[in-house]
Chain A
Amino acid sequence: MSEEHRETGTGWPRPGEPARPSGPAGEPDPRPDAPDPDELSPLAPVEPVEPAPDEVAEPAEREAVPESEPEPGAAAGAGAPSAARRFSSAGAMIAVLLALLGFTLVVQFKTTSTDPTLAATREEDLVRISSDLDSRERRLRQEIELLEESQRQLRSGEQGRQAALEEATRRADELGILAGTLPAVGPGLEVRFSGPAKAVSSTRILDAVQELRGAGAEAMQIQGADGTAARIIASTYFVDGAEGALVVDGRRLTGPFTIMVIGDPATMRTALNIPGGVVASVRDGGGNVTSEDREVVEVSQLHAPIKLDHARPVS
């Protein structure tokens, strides 16, 4: 390749001329053509008009002369002075052109580096990029929908769990009130039993409790004169103790007794006062029963939870 090139380079004027016509079309062998890009003849229609013959002749002479000359710089200088006027104008032109080249080079660099994809891209590429972006956007949109869907599902699952938790909590509260493990508050009655032990026996108290339960009592506690209190739940028992005392769930209460009960006051009062009912039988025995409506009745006494040794929930 290099030998080839060198040959053509030395014999430039000859191959240069024949190469000219073939240049614009295909340039079968760029190397012979390349040696003289000044001989821009292939691309430049202007050139052949006048400078071509001149140059072809000129370089040939010059080449022949300087090759024998020892100093290349002197040779270059010797060629130019012959046309001093032309040199200055052409030199200025060259300077301007090269400055322009540097300028555009930098500008182009900046353009491509600041906006490497879009500004310097041609139309069909832009169309392709645009459609790429469109399909990407579609994909991302689908992904968003999917994610939103799963978010909805998770949220509804969470809501379901939340509702189940609330329901369970509510149930636990209700059961806790029923089982006596939670304090309760609400409207109800304060029923006071006073009188001799015979009139206010455990049977009478149990009757009263049953009556109140039948009337819809939801939470009850019984309190003795000395402040000892017991929560009344399903398993509470009442036994007559010594000296007119009442034993409730193992606690000894002395009269008079007060039952705090939460429920509908009117219904419960009616239930207590029915003829032949609790109030009547206590009064028959010489005792007295007073009941007061209360906006807020507090049933604060707690019953220790029963430890289950044998029963297990079914499920």
Chain B
Amino acid sequence: MTPTMYADEVVPCAPRAGTLYDVLELILDRGMVIDVFIRVSLVGIEILKIDARIVVASVDTYLRFAEACNRLDLERDSGSTTVPELLGGGVAKSVGKRKVRRAAESVGDTVRSAVGAGGSDDDEDEERPKKRRAPARDGASRRRRAEA
């Protein structure tokens, strides 16, 4: 019963409030806290923030950026695409851009997965903050590196 109800309640707010992900830190870290009241423990969310930091600063992220950079290079050297063309949108179809997007989105994905803000799979997401997705990505990257 609940997923339907969420959709009803959330849709009117979405255009102005952005996704939950966009304001998550305000809901969790801003707003009044009254000394005499207690505040719920947010252990799951805090673990998640640490995960995100590891992903951002990781060597895997750097290697993904470098790979994208090198691919961009190859495309340009092939003479089929110039940098201005890439800037003009030609890059939108290129492998390089997709790689960068994947690397750049890793943080957002991690945080989004915590609150399930991106998806329609509402209720199952509740337990997802506990899952640590970074190791899976690391594994995939290691495999890519091994292949290279």
A binds B: no
Using CB atoms and an 8 Å cutoff, list the residues of chain B in contact with chain A.
none
